Amino acid sequence: MNPGNLQQMSARGEKIAMLTCYDASFASLCETAGMDALLVGDSLGMVLHGATSTLAVTLRDMQYHTRCVANGAKNTCIIADMPFGSYQQSPEQALHNAARLMAAGAHMVKLEGGSVMAETVRFLTARGIPVCGHLGFTPQSVHQLGGYRVQGRSVDDAQRLLEDAKALESAGAGLLVLEMVPAALAKEITAQLSIPTIGIGAGVDCNGQVLVLHDMLGIYPGKTPRFARNFMEGAESVQAALAAYVQAVKNGAFPASEHSF
């Protein structure tokens, strides 16, 4: 599956089920469960490396794990995070590093930031690299944002996020992750865009959902985010939990109100 298929799914009104993934074995299990897309997230810095943020993840880390996931999932759309410091300097820097992730097996790269990144998104997409945007709580800016906080609560912040979303779409982004955004705002942004939105703590009205694999399985030893649900509860196996997640996203059972802001 390529990024264009996600657009077609959204146009048909079909929800997109996405999960983070970092290795070949889980990639194969996710593909068998019917996952539409796998995000090789820089969240690996926390769930695999044991760091307190994503900031120390390197491009080499991302290349390695992207290659692992690509080896395990041959028919699933693979999106790779561009790590902190690998794309902010210039569009040319972003192109150089995005090309390395694509060579490792990604079908699309994801970068954080709003209107300030529009030039870079335009530069990449004009050169054949599909881009997924990321707005709301952006983990690479955790210190600037003052910690893990919901974004877009005030009228001004909500308007800024909406304008950022439109700027990324206009620049050529083909997908947009909305993280820790009030559900009503995420619904409005989704309604005003023609590209699919993927929510994580952003309500049920996004075109799809994503969770961190370790949160979804309840195996991360740190604090579980409010927006996560442990699908291993009541499941007989990891495979069953993955399939339950896909089904819950597809039928709108997840996220429920308690997983939203």
Question: Nearest 5°: CA angle at 135, between 132 and 138?
Answer: 105
Point out the catalytic residue in the list 179, 188, 233, 258. 179
DSSP 112-166: --SGGGHHHHHHHHTTT--EEEEEES-GGGTTTTTSS-----SHHHHHHHHHHHH
- Do strands 131-136 and 16-20 pair parallel, antiparallel, or not at all (unpaired)? unpaired
Please, are residues 61 and 85 in contact by the beta-carbon 8 Å criterion?
no
Amino acid identity, position 154: S
HSE value, Cβ hemisphere, 13 Å, CA-based, for 106: 28
Please indicate whether residue 236 is annotated as part of the active site: no
- Tokens 């979303």 label which residue? 165
Question: Nearest 5°: CA angle at 109, between 95 and 17?
Answer: 170
Question: Which residues are designated catalytic?
Answer: 179
